Every structure is written in structure tokens, then in C-alpha cells.
């Protein structure tokens, strides 16, 4: 079934949990989409899991568009959400609309996501006015890593928790259709989820959120140099890949691969003429 922003809003009303994963290319998007996911995020996490950077700050709008195009072709039913990179919506409302618009127009995104609360309300309102659905993102917002002094759980004091709730309510008021809650105490995420009528999508925010999102490399066990507390590895795909690649190397080195069945033939008549 095709997922839209209405599917997301309806799920919250019906108390049905929403599922999202990231994807960055056609092949993975196809697997994830065919598994029945509600939404796929082309996250700026690609800076870390695709480009190998230490944070998300260097990701560009062009990179997000490039990956969104690939994901879009692989995903037939998921809602496609593209992340707005650092500096693509901070400089002005015009820049925010323009970059969000490019993600829809060139990338094929159905919606965009951007980080922040009170500080980005004018941008969210303007993008929504341009008929582009916006997903908010509160809590441990990775683009704030330098401002936070590291990747640190947010909303642990009464004051900061209240600010998160106020930010979520404000995001709904300016028209966001959903909000990612990242790296905040589960009880705070629960309060936020009850304070808004749009679905919250949690990552490191407990099970009372209206849905969940993970980076696929994390949940498939393809990225195990660092495993955050909030990640559950549903498989050890990295290990399976390593074993398969090891077998390939061994068989090539021993002359066992390719076998006859992997090999193209020339007819005997033609072959004779070659000698
Ligand atoms: O970039 C990303 O993958 C994200 C999700 C983890 C929410 O923003
Ligand atoms: Na992101």
C-alpha cells in the first residue's frame, strides 16, 4: 500500500505504529520497500555511513538529491523523506524553500526533514506553504553536535524537557506532519507524543513514540565499530558479507571460481580457426 503524509496522520489516530529506515541507494531501498516499511529517510547520516565522515555536517544538498533519486527508483510504496543538510535552511527562508523544493523537484522526495524547534519555525512554515510536507527533528539533533559539545542525550532536565515539548507543539502548529525524536529520555518522548496530534518517530527515544526509525547499517549489523545503546542488531549482515567475500577470495586464489557454469563458450568451429 502506498504511504503518504495522510497514512502517517491516520496511523496516529488509529494507534498504529509507523516504521521507517534510512536508505541511500536503489538496491537497499528496494529491499526495504518490499519488506513493507512506511517511510524511507535519505538521512544526512549518509555523511557517516556512506562517506565515512565523523559527523553529518559536510553533507550537501546535491548529495542528498543524488541519493534520493536512487532511493526513489527502488521504493514504490514508502513515503520518501529527504534530510535537509546543515546550512541548507539556516541562512534564510528563501534558501530553505529553494533547497526543500530541489529535493522534491530533482530528487523526487515526498517530504523533507529538518532539525530544530523554535529556531526553525519560520522555515518550516514557509516550506509547508510551498506545499512541501515537513518532518521535524528534535532532541539529539546531530547537526548541533558542536553546539552540544558532542553527541549527548538531550532533555534530561525539567527545563530542557519542557523546551522539547514546547518545540514539538510549535512544530505541529506551523504545519509539520510528523516529528523525529532522537536521543531523549523515553518518558520525555512519551510526554511529547501525547502533547501533539502528529506522529512522533523515535530513535533512542523509547517505545512510546508513534513510530521508530533506525539507520539500516546499524540494525542489520553492518556497522559494528560503534553500536549505540538505542540500536538493536536484527542480523549480523556484516559478518555474513565478510564470510562470503572471504570464500570468494579463497576460491579465486585456488582457481575454483569461476566454474564451467559461470563461463561463456565459443563453438568448436570458430575455436579451431583461432589455433
Ligand atoms: O540522518 C538520519 O539518518 C536521521 C535519522 C537517524 C533520524 O536523521
Ligand atoms: Na539526519
**pLDDT in 10s for each residue of the chain, 275 residues:** 899 999 999 999 999 999 999 999 999 999 999 999 999 999 999 999 999 999 999 999 999 999 999 999 999 999 999 999 999 999 999 999 999 999 999 999 999 999 999 999 999 999 999 999 999 999 999 999 999 999 999 999 999 999 999 999 999 999 999 999 999 999 999 999 999 999 999 999 999 999 999 999 999 999 877 788 999 999 999 999 999 999 999 999 999 999 999 999 999 999 999 98
Among 42, 5, 4, CA closest to 176 = 5
Cβ of 141 below 6 Å from ligand 1:
no
Closest ligand 1 atom, CA of 201? 7
Residue 223 is predicted with a pLDDT of 82
Closest ligand 1 atom, CA of 115? 8
| CA-to-CA dists, residue 259 to 74, 248, 266, angstroms | 32, 12, 16
Closest ligand 1 atom, CA of 43? 1
Taking the CA of 24 as reference, the closest ligand is 1
> Cis ω on the peptide bond leading into residue 223 (within 30° of 0)?
no
Cell of 136: 521535524
Cβ of 180 below 6 Å from ligand 1:
yes
Residue 232 is predicted with a pLDDT of 97
Cβ of 43 below 6 Å from ligand 1:
yes
Query: What pTM was estimated for this model as a whole?
Result: 0.97
| CA-to-CA dists, residue 184 to 83, 112, 136, 176, 258, angstroms | 20, 22, 15, 20, 52
Q: Which residues are annotated binding-site positions for Mg(2+)? A: 44, 83, 115
Among 215, 211, 218, 217, CA closest to 196 = 211
Separation between Cα atoms, residue 165 and residue 196, nearest integer Å? 9
Separation between Cα atoms, residue 105 and residue 249, nearest integer Å? 43
| CA-to-CA dists, residue 246 to 37, 240, 253, angstroms | 32, 10, 11
Give ipTM to 2 decimals: 0.99
Q: Domain locations in the chain?
A: 5-235, 240-274
Cβ of 210 below 6 Å from ligand 1:
no
Q: Which residues are annotated binding-site positions for 3-methyl-2-oxobutanoate? A: 44-45, 83, 113
Separation between Cα atoms, residue 261 and residue 18, nearest integer Å? 45
Q: Catalytic residues, which ones?
A: 182
Task: List the beta strands (DSSP E) in 91-225.
Answer: 111-113, 134-139, 178-182, 200-203, 211-214
Class for domain 5-235, per CATH? alpha beta
Q: How far is the CA of 159 from the centre of ligand 2 (A)?
A: 25
User: Angle at CA 130, nearest 5°, toward 136 and 141?
Assistant: 20
Residue 227 is predicted with a pLDDT of 85
Residue 224 is predicted with a pLDDT of 75
Amino acid at each position: 500500500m502506498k504511504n503518504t503524509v495522510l497514512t502517517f496522520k491516520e496511523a496516529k489516530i488509529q494507534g498504529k505504529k509507523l516504521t521507517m529506515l534510512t536508505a541511500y541507494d536503489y538496491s537497499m531501498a528496494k529491499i526495504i520497500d518490499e519488506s513493507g516499511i512506511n517511510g524511507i529517510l535519505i538521512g544526512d547520516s549518509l555523511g557517516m555511513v556512506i562517506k565515512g565522515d565523523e559527523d553529518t555536517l559536510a553533507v550537501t544538498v546535491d548529495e542528498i538529491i543524488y541519493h534520493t533519486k536512487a532511493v526513489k527508483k527502488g521504493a514504490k510504496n514508502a513515503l520518501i523523506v529527504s534530510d535537509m543538510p546543515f546550512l541548507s535552511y539556516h541562512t534564510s527562508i528563501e534558501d530553505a524553500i529553494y533547497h526543500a523544493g530541489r529535493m522534491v523537484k530533482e530528487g523526487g522526495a515526498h517530504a523533507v526533514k529538518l532539525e530544530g524547534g523554535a529556531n526553525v519555525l519560520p522555515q518550516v512554515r514557509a516550506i509547508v506553504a510551498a506545499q512541501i510536507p515537513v518532518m521535524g527533528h528534535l532532541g539529539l539533533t546531530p547537526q548541533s553536535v558542536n553546539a552540544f559539545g558532542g553527541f549527548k542525550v538531550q532533555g534530561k532536565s525539567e527545563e530542557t524537557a519542557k523546551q522539547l515539548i514546547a518545540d514539538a507543539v510549535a512544530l505541529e502548529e506551523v504545519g509539520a506532519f510528523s516529528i523525529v525524536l532522537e536521543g531523549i529520555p523515553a518518558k520525555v518522548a512519551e510526554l511529547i507524543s501525547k502533547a501533539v496530534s502528529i506522529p512522533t518517530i523515535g530513535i533512542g527515544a523509547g517505545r512510546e513514540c508513534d513510530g521508530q526509525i533506525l539507520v539500516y547499517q546499524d540494525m542489520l549489523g553492518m556497522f559494528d565499530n560503534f553500536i549505540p545503546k538505542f540500536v538493536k542488531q536484527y542480523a549480523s549482515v556484516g559478518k555474513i558479507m565478510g564470510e562470503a567475500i572471504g570464500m570468494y577470495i579463497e576460491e579465486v586464489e585456488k582457481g575454483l571460481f569461476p566454474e564451467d557454469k559461470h563461463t561463456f563458450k565459443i563453438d568448436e568451429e570458430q575455436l579451431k580457426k583461432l589455433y
